[in-house]
């Protein structure tokens, strides 16, 4: 399975990458520091899952999700947002923009695994 | 202070009648200070010896380097440094885990030989129960038990390093808290005419986090997220 993790914090990307390996989704993990960089990575790569932060410079996670969802190529690509934003209106905004599931930082490997299984289950 | 409180404060500041303040400043500027007071101020010898710069330092407290005034740049540096250090720490934890994997592999390689030897000794004990082999067999069983214990300890150490890796998420959360402070400073910067001057305008920045939850509320928030997703699914607003 190919996953892309998008976060402006290199520490968070590392943590997510490491956690994905631990929970059995570490076959191939791509990285990007913001939404724009992620779009560039996706131009040359097909992924099975997108894990994105919200607050990032250049292009934030919400704009990235809206951009991705506007392209029919990514209709079925599951997106999980991992962010510090915990306000109800933010969660609703993200879900309406096309995010399939939502995780508030800090997260545990169990939570990430559960959410991935949920979104992948929907895909099938 | 919440963002809305800051906005209210700034709005209040803008509404205030500044004419009164200007008048006070004008009066203060035009007020004559008697020369006598200035001349009769004693000048300490040690200050004169130390030179003008140091004298200023002694009279006004700590003298910062110019760069130190650029609060936003300084906070950016702190964030960057903390991220670098946490990444180095992460590398060390990964190295520890690699070594644990290697050690575990060595034990796995040794174990079949130990099992073979155990079977061999069991055969002797069974056929020659009164010989010294029985005592050696007991020692050997202890060795096997110690090897099992080593394996179990490796698992415990690995679990702890994984837990430490998870805790390192604090860096990103702290970074965002600092970003929030920076956004307050930036707002003040606009009103205080470059008192906190910096090069921040040239850098693309992430939107500042609105809500960073306390750890003790995390479980409640996770449940809320689940409830929102469920409700929206039921309403057909999301898939």
Tell me which architecture the domain covering A2-114 has in CATH.
3-Layer(aba) Sandwich (3.40)
DSSP H helices in B66-217: 71-127, 133-167, 170-191
| pLDDT score of A124 | 46
| pLDDT score of A28 | 95
Q: Does A102 touch chain B (CB under 8 A)?
A: yes
Closest Cα to residue A104, out of A115, A118, A96? A115
Distance CA B204, CA B209 (A): 15
Q: Beta-carbon neighbour count of residue B132 at 10 Å? A: 8
Strand, helix or coil at B70? coil
Q: Pick B213's closest partner by Cβ from A15, A56, A86.
A: A86
Contact B120, B94 (CB under 8 A): no
**Confidence at B66, pLDDT banded by 50, 70, 90:** low
pTM exceeding the 0.95 threshold for the entire prediction: no
Task: Decide if pLDDT at B174 tops 60.
Answer: yes
Residue by residue, pLDDT tens for chain A (124 residues) are 999 999 999 999 999 999 999 999 988 999 999 999 999 999 999 999 999 999 999 999 999 999 999 999 999 999 999 999 888 899 999 999 999 999 999 999 999 999 999 999 854 4
Contact B76, B83 (CB under 8 A): no
Q: What does the buried/exposed string (b/e) look like for B165-199 if buried means 16 or more CB atoms within 10 Å of the residue's CB?
A: bbebbebbbbbbeebbebbebbebbeeeeeebebe
Distance CA A3, CA A14 (A): 13
| pLDDT score of B38 | 46
In tens, the pLDDT along A39-69 reads 999 999 999 999 999 999 999 999 999 999 9
* Domain ranges for chain A: 2-114
Distance CA B238, CA A93 (A): 11
Distance CA B89, CA B168 (A): 9
Question: What is the token pair recorded at A3?
Answer: 């996953």
Q: State the sign of the Cα–Cα–Cα–Cα dihedral B167, B96, A16, A112.
A: negative
Q: Pick B221's closest partner by Cβ from A10, A86, A95.
A: A86
| pLDDT score of B103 | 96
Q: State the sign of the Cα–Cα–Cα–Cα dihedral B162, A10, A95, B225.
A: positive
Distance from CA of B126 to the nearest CA of A (A): 45
Which chain B positions have a beta carbon within 8 Å of A57's beta carbon? 203-206
Residue in chain A lying closest to B163 (CA): A108
Q: Does B176 touch chain A (CB under 8 A)?
A: yes
Cβ pair B166:A106 closer than 8 A: yes
Closest Cα to residue A86, out of B205, B218, B208? B218
**Confidence at B233, pLDDT banded by 50, 70, 90:** confident
DSSP H helices in chain A: 10-22, 35-43, 61-69, 88-97, 109-123
| pLDDT score of B199 | 55
Query: In the β-sheet with A28-32, what is the strand arrangement from edge to edge?
Result: A28-32, A2-6, A49-52, A79-83, A101-104
The mean pLDDT of B129-145, rounded to a whole number, is 85
Q: Does B163 touch chain A (CB under 8 A)?
A: no
Q: Pick A95's closest partner by Cβ from B86, B171, B232.
A: B232
Contact A65, A99 (CB under 8 A): yes
């Amino acid at each position: 399975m190919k996953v892309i993790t998008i976060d402006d914090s290199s520490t968070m990307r590392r943590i997510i990458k490491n956690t994905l390996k631990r929970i059995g989704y570490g076959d191939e993990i791509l990285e990007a520091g913001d939404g724009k960089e992620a779009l560039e990575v996706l131009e040359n790569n097909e992924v099975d899952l997108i894990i994105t932060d919200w607050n990032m410079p250049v292009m934030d996670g919400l704009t990235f999700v809206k951009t991705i969802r506007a392209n029919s190529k990514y209709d079925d690509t599951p997106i999980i947002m991992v962010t510090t934003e915990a306000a109800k209106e933010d969660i609703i905004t993200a879900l309406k923009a096309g995010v399939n599931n939502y995780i508030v930082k800090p997260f545990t490997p169990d939570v990430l695994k559960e959410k991935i299984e949920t979104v992948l289950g929907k895909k099938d | 202070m919440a963002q809305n409180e800051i906005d209210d404060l700034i709005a209040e500041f803008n509404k205030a009648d500044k004419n009164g303040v200007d008048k006070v400043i004008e009066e203060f500027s035009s007020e004559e200070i008697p020369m006598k007071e200035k001349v009769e101020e004693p000048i300490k010898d040690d200050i004169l010896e130390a030179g003008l710069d140091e004298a200023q330092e002694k009279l006004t407290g700590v003298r910062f380097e110019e760069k130190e005034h650029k609060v936003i740049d300084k906070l950016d540096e702190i964030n960057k440094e903390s991220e670098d250090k946490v990444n180095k720490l992460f590398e060390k934890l990964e190295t520890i885990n690699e070594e644990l994997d290697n050690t575990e592999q060595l034990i796995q390689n040794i174990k079949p030989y130990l099992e073979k030897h155990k079977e061999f000794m069991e055969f002797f004990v069974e056929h020659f129960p009164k010989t010294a082999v029985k005592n050696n067999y007991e020692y050997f069983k202890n060795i096997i038990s110690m090897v099992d214990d080593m394996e179990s300890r490796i698992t415990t150490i690995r679990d702890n390093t994984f837990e430490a890796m998870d805790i390192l998420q604090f860096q990103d959360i702290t970074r965002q808290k600092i970003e929030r402070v920076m956004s307050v400073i930036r707002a003040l910067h606009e009103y205080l005419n470059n008192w906190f001057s910096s090069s921040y305008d040239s850098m693309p920045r992430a939107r500042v986090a609105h809500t960073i939850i306390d750890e003790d509320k995390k479980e409640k928030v996770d449940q809320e997220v689940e409830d929102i997703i469920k409700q929206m699914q039921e309403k057909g607003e999301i898939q």
